[in-house]
Amino acid sequence: MFTKKKPFFLLVLAISLAFYGSVIPSSYSDNHPTAAITYSESGPYKSGDEITITATFSEAVADSPVPKIAITGSNAVSATVMTKTSTTVYTYAHTVDHGSGNASVVMSVAKDVAGNAITATPTSGATFVVDNKSSSQYQHPPHIHDEVTVSINSDDTFVLDVKDTDITNISANVGDIIKITISVGDNEIVEQISPITLVTNFAKKPSDMNNYFGTNTLNGQTGLSVYELNQNETDQSYSYGELLTWNDSTQIIRDRVLTNHDDVGPLLKNEQELVIKYSVIANNVSEQTPVMVKMMDDVYMETIIVLPFTLEILPNLSENLSEGAAQEIESSVNDKSEFFIKSDKSAYVHGNKVVITGQIPIDDFDPKQAQHIEFSLTSPENQSIVKGEFAPQLDGSFAYDTFAMDAIWKTDGDYIFNFNFDSINSNLVISYDNTEFEISNIESVVTPPVVTPPVVTPPVVTPPVVEEKMIEKILPTCGTGTEDVNGICQVIQTEEKSKGGGCLIATAAYGSEMSPQVQMLREIRDNHLMNTESGSAFMSAFNSVYYSFSPAIADMERQSPMFKEVVKVGLTPMLSLLTIMENANSESEVLGLGLSVIALNLGMYLAVPAAVIVGIRKRI
């Protein structure tokens, strides 16, 4: 009997299970809820973009604990609570930060009503892309912030502004420690700025200079003292002729606290700055020279800027006249009734100390009047280069000293020292001949002779002491890279910013901007093309096209070693042809040779392959 009723029993059981299964809430299932991720706008995203990330859950989730979202990879964010829109929809507002790459969304904490934990990996939309490099409109070269600090022996401190048009000449002495502090930033993380190079001591490039450091030029001259700071490698330093001794630099990365921000890219969230302190010891005398900073980021965007000061190294001023010289002065002024003025040498060269002594007739001199001697120094071109006043000794004798330096004594010949005291007006001829120094400096930096002047012991007198003062006004004398504008030294075209940096494709192919191939391209551009009107016009048109696609090619080279080698092979013939341009110096030579090089390149890269293809097709 039972067997006859079995089919009916099974039918009832199936219907019951189907009914109760349909009315049992899903919250009582043991399935784990999942989330599908969507974004308020499509990517890729760049720094500063604000997007809303929405998580739509597969079923209702409990109010507690509140669902959290975390982001790993680029733009990492630790687990953060989301905002509830409904029982199945939660949102999170995200501001894209710096960096580039894939970012992954991870869900956590949330549970459904039955207590089942959320599946961490979303079913869709789990990743998004941050790309601060993909478009040239988002690329910006690294920049230097306004504030620059220079200190001498940690005593004298100069606080300057990069935008200053008035150039400050800072003088140090042999043996001084000079420290230069700058702050730099970028539209991405500052760890990607490298190298950051400080360059000074500009002169004609010596033939035996280390070529690795010989690529830093300004107004046709080469920086002979270089410190290259590398954030991820060992720093490199160099000073031709050991004019300077570089100490190790110091650097810190910190939050940017100042609010000023130039047009150098988007203002980053939690923007940081790299603060660098360069330190150098002055070994020898040098004339006034500019100081330049070069820096590059990881996509080979480069900035070159001349800082708003010049640096001059003078002899050690602690040296005084020797006791022997003092005796000579004292013996020469025994007859105090006659006026005389003389110099300690008949002729001077660069670096010599000039000592001028003399006597005011005692009958014409009253120390109680505290009258000063007025003087001026006039060049062979009849230009006043130094003027001022100083006090004589109480017995009418006087001594004045200065240094013969190329920074001020720019012309060889006879200089006139004019002496004026009361009714006495006298001129003393001082001969300056620096031919030997100028010739030798073409090939090397010469250490000018440093005279060890000995100490003058002023005559001991009984009258009350009159304080001796010397007021010297030096007219502006501007060094390389600066010019005198209304009595103020101003930098000639001080700031150069390379919008696209160097040759991005060649730099990526050969691995460094210091490779011989890239240096050759840079020297042809700077020393041959940019010095002519036609060459400058060509480079302007070329750059507008080249930098529209070269960043993408350079990125492909870095990502694919095989592609990098293909590019390198393709560049080799072109580099060989470009060596022809090293012979182009005049406008006509640049135009003629330039057209020839262009024609040869078109023939090599277009005509020859086309001829080969046509030949193959004919045979087929």
List the single range of 318-327, 356-365, 526-535 with lowest mean pLDDT.
318-327
- Strands, sheet with 384-390, edge to edge from the N-terminal-most edge strand: 347-348, 424-432, 413-421, 373-378, 384-390, 470-474
Model confidence at 348, in pLDDT bands (50, 70, 90)?
Answer: confident
Contact between 119 and 34 (Cβ < 8 Å): yes
Highest mean pLDDT among 280-294, 420-434, 535-549: 280-294
**Rounded Cα gap, residues 108 and 177, in angstroms:** 57
Model confidence at 180, in pLDDT bands (50, 70, 90)?
Answer: very high
- The average pLDDT across 224-251 equals 92
**Rounded Cα gap, residues 250 and 167, in angstroms:** 26
Report the DSSP beta bridge partners of residue 421: 424
Helix (H) / strand (E) containing 438:
helix 435-440
Q: What is the pLDDT of residues 149-158, one digit of tens each?
A: 999 987 778 9
The pLDDT, as a whole number, for residue 589 is 81
pLDDT for residue 227 is more than 90: yes
Model confidence at 331, in pLDDT bands (50, 70, 90)?
Answer: very low
Which two tokens mark 333? 């002024």
**Rounded Cα gap, residues 183 and 254, in angstroms:** 10
**Rounded Cα gap, residues 500 and 511, in angstroms:** 17
The Cβ of residue 478 has, within 10 Å, a number of other Cβ atoms equal to 20
pLDDT for residue 468 is more than 70: no
Contact between 193 and 142 (Cβ < 8 Å): yes
- The average pLDDT across 208-227 equals 92
pLDDT for residue 367 is more than 50: yes
Residue 146 CA: distances (Å) to CA of 19, 183, 260, 496: 77, 8, 9, 15
Residue at token pair 């190298």: 195
| Closest by CA position to 217, among listed 444, 585, 522 | 522
Contact between 365 and 391 (Cβ < 8 Å): no
Q: Which residue has the higher pLDDT, 79 or 438?
A: 79
List the single range of 15-29, 67-81, 232-246, 606-620 with lowest mean pLDDT.
15-29
The pLDDT, as a whole number, for residue 84 is 95
**Rounded Cα gap, residues 129 and 46, in angstroms:** 9
Model confidence at 87, in pLDDT bands (50, 70, 90)?
Answer: very high
Report the DSSP beta bridge partners of residue 435: none
pLDDT for residue 56 is more than 60: yes
Q: Nearest 5°: phi and psi at 590?
A: -60, -45
The pLDDT, as a whole number, for residue 472 is 44
Judge residue 234's burial from the number of C-beta atoms within 10 Å of its C-beta, 0-12 exposed, 13-18 middle, 19 or more buried: exposed
Highest mean pLDDT among 126-140, 272-286, 354-368: 272-286
Contact between 489 and 311 (Cβ < 8 Å): no
pLDDT for residue 269 is more than 70: no
For strands 373-378 and 482-485, give the pairing: unpaired
Q: What is the pLDDT of residues 424-446, one digit of tens each?
A: 899 999 998 876 545 444 444 44
pLDDT for residue 319 is more than 90: no
**Rounded Cα gap, residues 85 and 323, in angstroms:** 93
pLDDT for residue 249 is more than 90: yes
The pLDDT, as a whole number, for residue 82 is 95
- The average pLDDT across 608-615 equals 76
**Rounded Cα gap, residues 470 and 466, in angstroms:** 13
Residue at token pair 């604990």: 65
- Strands, sheet with 127-130, edge to edge from the N-terminal-most edge strand: 77-81, 68-73, 101-108, 127-130
pTM of the model: 0.42
pLDDT for residue 270 is more than 70: no
Reduce the DSSP state of residue 394 to 3 states and report it: coil
Q: What is the pLDDT of residues 4-21, one digit of tens each?
A: 555 666 666 666 555 544
Judge residue 266's burial from the number of C-beta atoms within 10 Å of its C-beta, 0-12 exposed, 13-18 middle, 19 or more buried: middle
**Rounded Cα gap, residues 325 and 306, in angstroms:** 44
List, as own/partner pairs, every contact residues 86-91 make where C-beta atoms lie below 8 angstroms and the sequence separation is at least 24, other chains included. 87/60, 87/61, 88/56, 88/57, 88/58, 88/59, 88/60, 88/61, 89/54, 89/55, 89/56, 89/57, 90/54, 90/55, 90/57, 90/61, 91/52, 91/53, 91/54, 91/55
**Rounded Cα gap, residues 140 and 497, in angstroms:** 11
The pLDDT, as a whole number, for residue 70 is 93
Contact between 268 and 234 (Cβ < 8 Å): no
- Average pLDDT, rounded, for the chain: 78
Render 243-298 in DSSP notation, one character per residue.
-EEEPPPEEEEEE-------SSS---TT-EEEEEEEEEEE-S-EEEEEEEEEEE-T
Highest mean pLDDT among 218-232, 248-262, 541-555: 218-232
pLDDT for residue 259 is more than 50: yes
- The average pLDDT across 157-186 equals 90
**Rounded Cα gap, residues 294 and 198, in angstroms:** 7
Q: Give the CA-trace dihedral at 436, 438, 440, 442, to 10 degrees.
A: -160
User: To 10 degrees, what angle do helices 533-559 and 561-578 make?
Assistant: 160
For strands 236-239 and 244-246, give the pairing: unpaired
Model confidence at 491, in pLDDT bands (50, 70, 90)?
Answer: very low
Model confidence at 222, in pLDDT bands (50, 70, 90)?
Answer: very high
List the single range of 147-156, 219-228, 287-296 with lowest mean pLDDT.
147-156
The pLDDT, as a whole number, for residue 426 is 92
Q: Looking at this protein, which amino acid is placed at residue 373?
A: I
The pLDDT, as a whole number, for residue 39 is 95
Helix (H) / strand (E) containing 375:
strand 373-378
% residues pLDDT > 90 (the chain): 27
Q: Which residue has the higher pLDDT, 160 or 324?
A: 160
Q: What is the pLDDT of residues 384-398, one digit of tens each?
A: 888 888 888 888 888
List the single range of 143-147, 196-200, 543-547 with lowest mean pLDDT.
543-547
List the single range of 106-115, 517-526, 606-615 with lowest mean pLDDT.
606-615
Task: State the Rg of the chain over Cα.
Answer: 38
List the single range of 13-17, 144-148, 488-492, 550-554 with lowest mean pLDDT.
488-492
The pLDDT, as a whole number, for residue 75 is 76
The pLDDT, as a whole number, for residue 140 is 78
Which two tokens mark 583? 């012979």
- The average pLDDT across 268-293 equals 88
pLDDT for residue 91 is more than 50: yes
The pLDDT, as a whole number, for residue 483 is 58
Residue 39 CA: distances (Å) to CA of 53, 58, 92: 5, 17, 10
List the single range of 73-77, 302-306, 484-488, 578-582 with lowest mean pLDDT.
484-488
Q: Which residues of 160-180 are buried (b: 16+ CB within 10 A; e: fewer)?
A: bebebeebebbbbbbebbbbb
Model confidence at 104, in pLDDT bands (50, 70, 90)?
Answer: very high
